[in-house]
Structure 1
């Protein structure tokens, strides 16, 4: 009996030692609590030249390094419009909230960056990041095609104009690498991602539109910008055909474009899946404006 207990004890000691060794060899991951995330994203407000004041969150890495860092901009969906500037503006941004959050010290060692999250106004029913022909307070969705496309209005939305101005001001105020400004948007923010790079094709080094509408007429403006498109194939809100078409048009222009379509996947699940893609962050942070221009 004592012999048996001796061997059991030895086995337990070996098991504990092997677990400790595995733990030491595996990279540690810090999982942030909601309160920690909220405290790391400082609240601000920005008054644009068009008179609109928009709230925003900013993550500032705040270290002593002299090197300029990239800026990652996130555009939220339609249901998160407003002026409250609470956690809803970033709650669906997986690179902020998931296990590989860019806010952790471990991830900042890999991908040091600033993160900017503006909030779209809801002052009228048709206020969006994007502005298309037919989009009015009386007919907010008029002009959206069943094929997932629209025709961009010559004049931007007030929120879209203010957000682009905010991005430009942030570049002036912080030590940001102007050649590495990245844009990610979901749903209404997917609209905005396509639209912002169309209106300011000089500003962004890479774009990730998720489950949004787009304007195919803007291909010439954006063909030099690396783009990774995500969509679910049973999206009942924003037709997947729009993303498929933009991918085809960008391929024809020999653009640096990736397309991921999730089978049997609905609207919200598409961007949940997208933020779990292991190659997404390495792909984004590998891009610079200097190697995207013709």
Structure 2
């Protein structure tokens, strides 16, 4: 059962593969109406929120913001990675999206992915697996961009905005700077915001409204129908 507008609720989806079974939270704007198609964010959390305790999802980042902000103007799909695993099954994540799309009007041209920490690497894997479907990506304290993803060229033209703490001890800023530069030269528009004096925990970045304004500047070429893989 998917939620009514304005609620965060739990749903369960199983990958057809099946590699991962994912439960997810869904935010539906209080002002939702089927008269229009809605921009949609897929949010992938970091390692500490993995497991089957959905309260962990609400503890940090975008889900925490949505606990109180019922009119946040996006559909937001927030799967939970199983304990001890990583975001390695893009098909399971996309099934979450398709489950939501079966009830709510997702704008196929305004589908975005946002990831924190290990979720930062996850958004690249997701977008690489489904080329052309994501209009823009945001990584926050993200793990490294895999070289084969940049080399593969399937994200050509997809813009990326990376946020990273200057003093991040888990993912060195020098590594991120080099990869974002490489992405910008060979793949698509790339922007890096370095947070002076900050470490790995920069989840408050998701409280910035300019992040979401930036997402809405970008559209993919999927303007009419929802694609099936």
**Both proteins in one fold, TM over 0.5:** yes
The aligned residue for residue 55 of structure 1 is 23
The aligned residue for residue 210 of structure 2 is 279
The aligned residue for residue 177 of structure 2 is 244
The aligned residue for residue 86 of structure 2 is 128
The aligned residue for residue 163 of structure 1 is 93
Whether the 8 Å contact between 2:34 and 2:104 is mirrored in structure 1 is: no
Compare the two structures and name the one with the higher strand fraction: 2
Cα distance between partner residues in 2 of 1:223 and 1:210: 21
The aligned residue for residue 118 of structure 2 is 188
The aligned residue for residue 85 of structure 1 is 54
What is the CA distance between 1:57 and its match in structure 2? 0.6
* 1:265 lines up with 2:226 in the alignment: no
Q: Secondary structure at the match of 2:179?
A: helix
What is the CA distance between 1:102 and its match in structure 2? 8.4
Cα pair distance change 1:40/1:244, threshold 3 Å: same
Using structure 2 for the length normalisation, give the TM-score: 0.82
CA RMSD of aligned residues (A): 2.4
Give aligned pairs, total: 212
The aligned residue for residue 40 of structure 2 is 71
Cα distance between partner residues in 1 of 2:187 and 2:125: 20
Cα pair distance change 1:218/1:276, threshold 3 Å: same
Deviations 1:99-134 (A, max 9, x none): x988333xx4xxx32111000011xx3x101xxxxx
Whether the 8 Å contact between 2:158 and 2:187 is mirrored in structure 1 is: no
What is the CA distance between 1:166 and its match in structure 2? 1.8
* Structure 1: 5+ residue stretches without partners: 1-38, 130-156
Cα distance between partner residues in 2 of 1:252 and 1:75: 26
Using structure 1 for the length normalisation, give the TM-score: 0.65
Deviations 1:109-162 (A, max 9, x none): xxx32111000011xx3x101xxxxxxxxxxxxxxxxxxxxxxxxxxx24x431
Larger Rg: 1
Q: Secondary structure at the match of 1:290?
A: coil
The aligned residue for residue 114 of structure 1 is 75
Q: Secondary structure at the match of 1:222?
A: coil
Cα pair distance change 1:43/1:254, threshold 3 Å: closer
State the structure with bigger RCO (CA 8 A, min sep 6), 1 or 2: 2
* 1:290 lines up with 2:224 in the alignment: no
Cα pair distance change 1:174/1:276, threshold 3 Å: closer
